[in-house]
Every structure is written in C-alpha cells, then in structure tokens.
Amino acid sequence: SWYDMWWAFGWPYETSVAMGRIVMSGLFDKYPDIKIITHHLGGMVPFFEGRVGPGLDQLGRRGNDPHEAGTLGRLAKRPYDYFRMFYADTATFGSIPATECGLAFFGADRVLFASDAPFDPEKGSGYIRSTLAVMDGITASIEDKQKINEGNARRLLKLDA
C-alpha cells in the first residue's frame, strides 16, 4: 500500500483478525491452558473493546454468513472473554496511551515487556529506550511494572527468579 499504510494500520489489523480467528475457532476451549502472546499489545483489540465485547455478542445477527450462524452456540464463553485470555507485549513504539489502553484490557498479569528492537529508525536501541520511558510513564503500580518488565516472562517461560 502507499505511504506505509500496511505497516501503520495493516499490521495491527492483521494481528487483531488473527486473534479473532483463533477465538472463533474454539482453540481456547480445546486447549484451555494454551498461552498465546500477541504483538503490539493485541493490535486494535484493546481500543475496540466495545466491538469485541457487546459487538461480537451479536455475531450472526447482522448478516447471513453461514460461518457465523452457530459460532456463539459452539463457544463455551463470550468472544470477549477469549480475547482477554491472550497475552500481549508492550511494543507500542513509545505510546503511553496505547500501553495504558492495552494494560486496561489485558491486565498486568498478561502483559510482557517488548520493544520491537532492532526495527527502530536507529536500527538498534531506540525502541528499547522509548519503551522503557513508557514503562516509567504509565500509571501502573511498581508491582505491576515488575510483572510486565520481568515477572510475567519468567512465569510463562518457567524461568527461575
């Protein structure tokens, strides 16, 4: 696409769609202990919480797509509840508001530090510095920041403290 729109909007959109397809496939019902970490704080999902909540509760009522008809009856939970089962990383390119939004959606126990390094304009540590600045600037408690910066990764990867 022109002007890097694929990068600015397409990438988070594709992340969100992939999450949605995982949710609707019933994967979390089949494998309730599965851990899936999404990039960029879950793409567009946290910002569109109302759409993945009450919006998707109406799945199959807005059209006549045969794929949608029985999906809600097949899932054990609301789609919203499955979206919140994902883990997400903090690679938001230095955005405190995006990080706060994702943290509010997923909760501190499901967010892990990540920076998208080395893909910053410097090809090195730029996004690491900006993500560290975000972590300093968000309103989370010291305990929650510790979980995000280190604790959650140690727990998920079963690493000793």
Q: Is the dihedral of CA 102, 33, 117, 131 positive or negative?
A: positive
Whole-number pLDDT of residue 157: 95
Axis crossing angle, helix 126-137 with helix 96-106, rounded to the nearest 10: 60
CA distance 90 to 115: 7
Same domain, 127 and 159: yes
Number of domains in the chain: 2
pLDDT score for 9:
94
- pTM, rounded to two decimals: 0.93
3-state DSSP assignment of residue 111: strand
pLDDT at 161: 65
pLDDT at 150: 97
Same-domain status, 85 and 18? yes
Which residue, among 34, 8, 4, has the nearest Cα to 19 in the 3D structure?
Answer: 34
Asked whether residue 140 falls in the same domain as residue 111, the answer is yes
Are 129 and 73 part of one and the same domain? no
Statement to judge: residues 81 and 111 lie in one domain: no
Averaged pLDDT in 10-residue chunks for the chain of 161 residues: 91 97 97 97 98 92 78 92 98 96 99 92 90 97 98 95 65
